[in-house]
Amino acid sequence: MGPKQWIIARSLCLYRIFVLGDIPSGERKSALNLRIRQWSPFPETGRYVVWNGESAHVWIWDEVEQREAARKSGATSRVFPETVMRGAPDRDTLRILSCTEGIEAQIWRQGRLAASRWWAEGPPHEEWPRFLAAHDLNPNTDIPEPEDTPLLDRPWGQSADGNPLLNLGIQRLCVFAVMAVLTFVLIWQGISVWRWQQAQGALADRIAALTEEAEPLLEARTRATRDRKVAERLLSLVSHPAQLELMAAVAEKLPRRKVFLAEWHYNQGNLSFTLEGKNPDPRYYVGTYQKMPHFKEVTAERGREQSQLVVRMKVKEGL
């Protein structure tokens, strides 16, 4: 009987694409591990990574919750996110898939999953255009009918996630195991001091060889630690929604033909814009934008002229 497969529902996964073209190929896995740790909200993180050139397609989930559920069901061998077990299309497309729970919107470009978004029910009408606009699609496109795609026998994307620190730990464990076995055998057999010295010399050579093999991994870890601030800065640039999506959200709440957007300023999560119209009401805009899922800490004040209103807010980080 083959190994059992444990499929994580899309509703329990977070999905993101990391582009690592600016990082040397030998250091990309270490950099990806760092970014996943910074992104993940879970105390222990399960992951599934599919590499596509310089891009890593990453699904993560709560490993503690998954491990407990798998233990109760007895399925603890191979774990896959639901998305990779649903059939991939053979052309570029925008589609809606019926999932175990809820639905998933997918955008496929050049044979790769360029965007994914999950909703418990059908996409809300105010969120669907923003999702399309954020990925350079016509926001007026109708919502496709959900497709009921059966589960595959094997995933369309094979995981290629690796952990360099794991190999280093295995090497150290092997050294300790060899030392313990040799010591036990030498004591048990009561060999001579000469043979003990020979074995000790051979062990020293082995330790030196393993240490030399481990040096590139240690250097890679040191470089990753040193570049952590750079990685955090780059990560912060992609942790907020696209400006096109924000602008669409703001414009959606403006009274038509009465107020227009005169100025726009955005910098790493801080957004301010100037509205111009006939005596705009600050209370309306503070209350309206404060209720939206994108924004928080909304304030408004009169601009340089009576017809102007300056609105400031912070942008929440999204999925």
Q: Of the candidates 97, 110, 116, which has an alpha carbon nearest to the alpha carbon of residue 58?
A: 116
CB half-sphere exposure, 41, CA atoms < 13 A: 7
pLDDT tens digits, 16-64: 999 999 999 899 999 999 999 999 999 999 999 999 989 999 999 999 9
Q: 0.75 exceeded by the pTM?
A: no
pLDDT-derived band of residue 317, with 50, 70 and 90 as boundaries?
Answer: confident
CA distances from 206 to 79, 165, 194, 198, 211 (A): 36, 20, 19, 12, 8
- pLDDT at residue 224 in the model: 74
Between 165 and 46, residue with greater pLDDT: 46
- pLDDT at residue 175 in the model: 46
Domain spanning 243-315, CATH architecture: 2-Layer Sandwich (3.30)
- pLDDT at residue 99 in the model: 94
Calculate mean pLDDT across residues 303-316: 89
pLDDT tens digits, 73-100: 775 568 999 999 998 999 999 999 999 9
- pLDDT at residue 55 in the model: 92
- pLDDT at residue 180 in the model: 66
Considering only 28-42, 98-112, 126-140, 302-316, which range has the smallest mean pLDDT?
A: 302-316
Share of the chain above pLDDT 70, in %: 84
- pLDDT at residue 245 in the model: 85
pLDDT tens digits, 212-225: 787 787 777 778 77
